[in-house]
């Protein structure tokens, strides 16, 4: 190699998440996680999916521990591409109970980062998605698993209620 040529770190295939942990791991299932920043579907080992796991494409944190914002542009990709359950809070800025629940929802997102994808959808800016899912009151929480709705509940919940409901599968 000629002197002075740029040295780049050994790359990984695009879309495989990177982790701060490097120890060998036993055989385990791969898990798909859609990046909350660039919407790339990442595949990697479940035990590598931790707070240090980064997107193989944009290198940002895959589990930022806060709700990700869904829009018509990325909604279907997140519903279909995550192997973790995806929880969507259908809300709106003018909705008092939604705003009241927001801090608890953010805390739930931090605590459930490895267990579920926690997302928000602003029904004011995305009325098409609200009507597609027949959202009649907000806040309404909907849980998707393997691309399909498995549970929904309307009305604000506190943090213990959110954790319990989401961990029970909605």
Contacting Zn ion (CB under 5 A), which of 34, 49, 53, 55? 55
CA distance 69 to 1: 46
Residue 38 within binding range of Zn ion, rule CB under 5 A: yes
Q: How far is the CB of 72 from Zn ion (least distance, A)?
A: 19
Residue 58 annotated to the active site? no
Beta carbon nearer to Zn ion, 57 or 107: 57
- Region from 23-31, 54-62, 90-98, 119-127 binding Zn ion, contact rule CB under 5 A: 54-62
Contacting Zn ion (CB under 5 A), which of 31, 58, 104, 159? 58
Beta carbon nearer to Zn ion, 16 or 149: 16
Contacting Zn ion (CB under 5 A), which of 57, 111, 125, 153? 57
Angle at 63 between CA 69 and CA 23, to 5 degrees: 160
Determine the 3-state secondary structure of 11 from DSSP: coil
CA distance 5 to 62: 32
Residue 75 vs residues 27, 34, 155: alpha-carbon distances, Å: 31, 11, 22
Helix, strand, coil tally for the chain in percent (to 5)? 25, 25, 50
Tokens for 84?
Answer: 């973790």
- Region from 25-33, 39-47, 80-88, 148-156 binding Zn ion, contact rule CB under 5 A: 39-47
Binding footprint of Zn ion on the chain (CB under 5 A): 35, 37-38, 40, 55, 57-58
Active-site annotation, residues: 95, 98
């Amino acid at each position: 190699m000629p002197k002075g040529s740029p040295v780049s770190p050994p790359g990984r295939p695009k879309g495989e998440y990177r982790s701060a942990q490097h120890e060998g791991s036993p055989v385990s299932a791969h898990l798909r996680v859609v990046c909350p920043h660039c919407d790339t579907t990442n595949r990697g080992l479940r035990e590598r999916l931790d707070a240090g796991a980064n997107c193989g494409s944009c290198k940002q944190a895959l589990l930022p521990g806060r709700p990700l914002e869904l829009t018509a542009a990325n909604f279907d990709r997140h519903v279909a591409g995550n192997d973790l359950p995806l929880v969507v809070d259908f809300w709106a800025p003018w909705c008092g109970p939604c705003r009241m629940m927001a801090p608890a929802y953010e805390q739930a997102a931090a605590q459930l980062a490895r267990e579920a994808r926690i997302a928000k959808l602003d029904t004011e800016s995305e009325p098409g998605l609200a009507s597609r899912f027949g959202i009649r009151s907000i806040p309404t929480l909907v849980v998707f698993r393997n691309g399909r709705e498995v549970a929904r509940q309307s009305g604000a919940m506190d943090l213990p209620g959110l954790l319990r409901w989401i961990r029970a599968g909605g």
